[in-house]
C-alpha cells in the first residue's frame, strides 16, 4: 500500500510501507565504512608507536653498552667491586631500567663467559692485538687481561622486546643484541682486578 505524504506546502513524497527511510539505510553503511577505514588506520598508528618504541629501546641499550666500554677503558672500579662488576653496574645505570624490562623470565640462554640475567647474557671480553699481515685478535682471560693496549668488548645478547599491540602482525617478540669495543688506556697503577 502506498501513501502520499506532504513535505512542505506543495511537494508530495511517496513512501512504501515496510521500508526504512533513506537516512536510516545510509547510517548502517556509514558504520561499515568507518570500520573498514579505522582498522588499517589504527594498525598503522600502533605500528608507528610500537616500532618507534623498539628502536628507542635498542638505541638506549646501545648507549648503555657504549658507556660501559667508556668506563672500562679508564680502568676505574667502584668501591668494593671488581672491574667487570663495575662495568655491569654502569650499564645498568645507563639503561634506565630497560635492562630488566627486556629480560624475559627465567634464564633461557647459557652464558659461557659472562653474567646471565633472565634471558640476557652480558659478556665482557678482552682481546690482545697481534700486529702482522693481517693483524689478529686473541682472546685474553685471567689476571692482566685488561692491560693497556688490549681491546675491551662488551656485548649484551638475548634482549627481547615484546610488541605492545600486535595488531595485524606477528606476536613473536623482537630479539636483538648490542655490542661496543675500545682500546684500554694506560693505567697508572696497573690493571685493576676483574
Write out pLDDT tens, residues 5-62: 555 555 555 555 556 665 656 666 788 888 889 888 888 888 888 889 889 999 999 9
Rounded to an integer, what distance in angstroms lies between the CA atom of residue 192 and that of residue 59? Answer: 30
Question: pTM of the predicted model, to two decimals?
Answer: 0.72
Average pLDDT over residues 86-93: 90
Write out pLDDT tens, residues 159-175: 888 887 766 667 788 88
Write out pLDDT tens, residues 53-70: 889 999 999 999 999 999
Locate cell 515496510: which residue? 18
Rounded to an integer, what distance in angstroms lies between the CA atom of residue 162 and that of residue 174? Answer: 6
- CB pairs under 8 A, 24+ apart, for 173-177? 173/104, 174/54, 176/58
E-assigned strands of 69-188?
114-117, 120-130, 136-140, 151-161, 174-183
CB 183 within 8 A of CB 149: yes
More confident residue, 142 or 21: 142
Percent of the chain topping pLDDT 70: 73
Looking at residue 55, what is its pLDDT?
93
Percent of the chain topping pLDDT 90: 16
Locate cell 685471567: which residue? 142
Average pLDDT over residues 108-113: 58
Amino acid at each position: 500500500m502506498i501513501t502520499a505524504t506532504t513535505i512542505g506546502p506543495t511537494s508530495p513524497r511517496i513512501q512504501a510501507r515496510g521500508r526504512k527511510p533513506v537516512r536510516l539505510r545510509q547510517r548502517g553503511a556509514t558504520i561499515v565504512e568507518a570500520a573498514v577505514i579505522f582498522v588499517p588506520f589504527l594498525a598503522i598508528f600502533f605500528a608507528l608507536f610500537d616500532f618507534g618504541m623498539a628502536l628507542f629501546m635498542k638505541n638506549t641499550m646501545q648507549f648503555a653498552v657504549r658507556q660501559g666500554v667508556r668506563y672500562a677503558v679508564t680502568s676505574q672500579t667502584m668501591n668494593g667491586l671488581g672491574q667487570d662488576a663495575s662495568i655491569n653496574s654502569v650499564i645498568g645505570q645507563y639503561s634506565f631500567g630497560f635492562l630488566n624490562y627486556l629480560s624475559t623470565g627465567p634464564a633461557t640462554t647459557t652464558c659461557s663467559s659472562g653474567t646471565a640475567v633472565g634471558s640476557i647474557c652480558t659478556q665482557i671480553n678482552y682481546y690482545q692485538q697481534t700486529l702482522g699481515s693481517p693483524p689478529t685478535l686473541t682472546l685474553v682471560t685471567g689476571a692482566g687481561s685488561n692491560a693497556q693496549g688490549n681491546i675491551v668488548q662488551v656485548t649484551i645478547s638475548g634482549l627481547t622486546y615484546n610488541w605492545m599491540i600486535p595488531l595485524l602482525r606477528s606476536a613473536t617478540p623482537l630479539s636483538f643484541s648490542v655490542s661496543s669495543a675500545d682500546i684500554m688506556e694506560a693505567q697508572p697503577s696497573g690493571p685493576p682486578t676483574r
